[in-house]
Amino acid sequence: MDYLYLDHAATSPMRESIWSAMRNAEEVGYGNPSGSHKISRKAKNIVEESREVIAASVGAAPEEIVFTSSGTESDNWSIKSPFQSSFPTSQDLVVSSIEHEAVIESAKWVENRGYKVSFVNPNIAGKVESSEFIQSIRETTTVASLMWANNETGVLQPVSDIGKAVKGNKKLIFHSDIVQGFVSTKIDFHKHGITSAAMSAHKIGGPKGIGFMFLHNKYKIESYLHGGKQELERRAGTVNVVGVAGFAAAVKEHQDRFDEEVGLIKNEKNTFEELISENIKISVIGLEEERLPHISNIQIRGVNSENLLVLLDLDGVGVSRGSACSSGAQKPSHVLEAMKIDKKDLNSHLRISFGWTTKVGDGARAADKIINTIKGLK
């Protein structure tokens, strides 16, 4: 039987339509989009048409979208840029303590430069309280960052509530990492008061190595790549035309099939959680809060998740412990630690994440595999 891939929160396979879009971009627009001849103009057109497609999907203006190499680069750029000075001023930064590593490590970089950084903890279900986050924002706060939804637990965060509350603060950049959120929820930056955001293509079946940073057109931040005037004079370096074309194609297919795909994914996740809960003793993390339809994080007390991952892999099932960006570090999840999960249970978690390749029956099949594997350990 085919390998059961349920690690879409780490990355998703490329959609078939993306291959043809990328091949066409390379064949037709192989020129440098910064040039002035015919082939360069074709490349430029591909980039700008793609920018329009992507901007429309998040309620942004095309000039507010800057292409980057990844969501990680976009997070780094948005968080670090206002704090480049070697002589710390009264500026400060507010982030949640459950952010993606790209934001957490960027915040630590800011803190190490002498700036004040406030880390806001979530409740025990993994949700940051909007009132506590808002209270942490001071007159001197330059950037506040809260992800749309957590990449390990799937718990949705009160981004819209906070965005509306800080909308009148003209000095504040309100940043949100939407990389997981975009997969299975509709997001409109201006509607939700988001003024900066990070996104990556490969989570929705697009190519790896391409992302975007959204920046509201009323703001300007310093570039940290120098050497050219590409990307609206914000990011130096020859634009990845093929990647951009693949990104736009992925967004278009994702939007066109959104209701169908998310409906199926939600049903499969619910089936998985129901079946596994009926057969073995587990806890579903964040069950008390609204969660993304595609992510399930379960705690299986007394079972080492690293050992379980190996056994499941041998049995044809691919899942994870948590974030792919930190799993190789062999350390407990900072998200679960922030949620005050008991230390003895930190290594007893699995993240099961569904995606566009998920089929009817995959939820039941995954539950059956995990149940049988765990029973075999006893």
| Catalytic machinery residues | 325
The residues, ordered by sequence, that sit 6+ positions from 121 with a Cβ below 8 Å of its Cβ are 96, 97, 98, 128, 338
In one-letter notation, the amino acid at residue 377 is: L
Number of helices and strands in the chain (H, E): 13, 12
Helix (H, G, I), strand (E, B) or coil at 35: coil
Q: Is 302 left (phi over 0), alpha (psi -120 to 50) or beta?
A: left
- Distances 346 to 78, 120, 309, 331 between C-alpha atoms, Å: 31, 20, 15, 9
Nearest to 370 by CA among 328, 313, 324: 313
Within 10 Å of residue 28's Cβ, how many Cβ atoms? Answer: 15
For the chain, strand residue ranges (E) read: 4-5, 65-68, 92-96, 116-120, 141-145, 173-177, 196-200, 211-215, 283-284, 295-299, 317-318, 349-353
Greatest pairwise CA separation for the chain in angstroms? 69
- Concatenating the DSSP letter of every residue in 293-345 gives TTEEEEE-TT--HHHHHHHHHHTTEE-BSS-TTTGGG----HHHHHTT--GGG
